Amino acid sequence: MSNYSTKNLDRFSAVFNALSNPHRLQIYTILSGCCTPGTACNMDIITSCCVGDLGSELDIAASTLSHHLKELSHAGLINMQRDGKQVICSVNSEMLNDIRQYFQGNPEVHHESQTG
Amino acid sequence: MSNYSTKNLDRFSAVFNALSNPHRLQIYTILSGCCTPGTACNMDIITSCCVGDLGSELDIAASTLSHHLKELSHAGLINMQRDGKQVICSVNSEMLNDIRQYFQGNPEVHHESQTG
DNA sequence: ACTATAGTTCGACATATTTAGAACTATAGA
DNA sequence: TCTATAGTTCTAAATATGTCGAACTATAGT
C-alpha cells in the first residue's frame, strides 16, 4: 500500500497490539460498558472504573494489571486520571472513533489525515 | 466484565493480535482497498490481490509473507483460495462486520451470540 | 509522624513472536 | 517428463511479551 501512511500503520498496529491480549481486551470491554463513549466516565452514576475495581474482575497480580493499563493508555485507547487515592480509567473516545473509521474504510483515516 | 463471554474475548483478541503486526495490518489494509468488502475480490477489475502482488509491496521474505497470511486467515480476517498457480486473498466480510459491531458496542457481539 | 489504602516500578523468568533461508509442494506449459 | 513460476513448511535465532513478587511512591486519615 503506497498511499497508506507508515505513521497510521504504526499507530493502528500499536492499538491492535494493545487489544491483542485477552486481559487487556477484557479491561477495554469493561471500560466500554461502564463509561458511555463520548462522555467522561461519570462516577456519580457508575462506580466501577478505578484500577482496583478492574483488578477484582481479572484475577491477575496488581503489577500485571498496572502494566496492562499502561499499555492501553500508551496506545491511546484509554485515559487515566488520579482522583484522591484512586486512579480512574475511561475509554478515549477519539481513538475509538478513529478505529471505527478505520473499519469503515474512511479515507480520512486510511490516507494520511495529517491533522496533528 | 462478567457477562462478556470468554469465547468472544479469545476470538477478538486473536483478531486484534493478527492486526497487531505492521506487516499484517498493511496486508489487511491493502486487501480492504483492493477488494470491496462484501464482494469476492473481483479479478476482472482489480489484479492485485494474489500473494505475489502483496509481496511486491512489503519487502519481506516470501516465507514471512506466507506466515503472516496464515495468521490473518487463521484469525478469520481473510479468505484464501487457489486459482491456478496463484492464491487469491480477500477480506472476510463477516469478520469485518463482527469487528464493526464490537466497536459499536453491539450487544450481539458483546454478550455471547451463540449462533455458530 | 505513623498507618492504611491504592497503585506503580523493578527485576527476573518463561513463553510467544518475527524473521529469513533452505527445502519443499502445486500448478501450468513446452 | 522437464522446467519455470507461485507459494508453503521447516528450522533456527533474535527479540518481544506476560507474568509475578518485592520494593517502591502517592494520598488520606489519625
Residue A84 region by backbone torsions, left for phi larger than 0, else alpha for psi between -120 and 50, else beta: left
What percent of chain B shows pLDDT beyond 90? 68
Query: 3-state SS of chain A: helix, strand, coil percent to 5?
Result: 55, 10, 35
What's the Cα-to-Cα distance from A34 to each of A18, A41, A44, rounded to whole Å? 19, 7, 12
Distance CA B114, CA B39 (A): 25
Q: Residue A7's pLDDT is what?
A: 82
Q: Closest nucleotide to B70's CA, by C1' atom? A: D8
Measured in angstroms, what separates residue A50's CA from nucleotide D12's C1'?
45
**Degrees to nearest 5, angle at CA B1 with A54 and A57:** 40
Residue with cell 491480549: A21
Measured in angstroms, what separates residue B24's CA from nucleotide C16's C1'?
17
Q: Residue A6's pLDDT is what?
A: 81
pLDDT tens sequence across B13-47: 999 999 999 999 999 999 998 754 444 444 344 43
Domains of chain A: 6-37+44-105 (1.10.10.10)
Q: What is the DSSP letter of B50?
A: B
CB contact under 8 A, A29 and B9: yes
Chain A: residue whose CA lies nearest to B48? A1
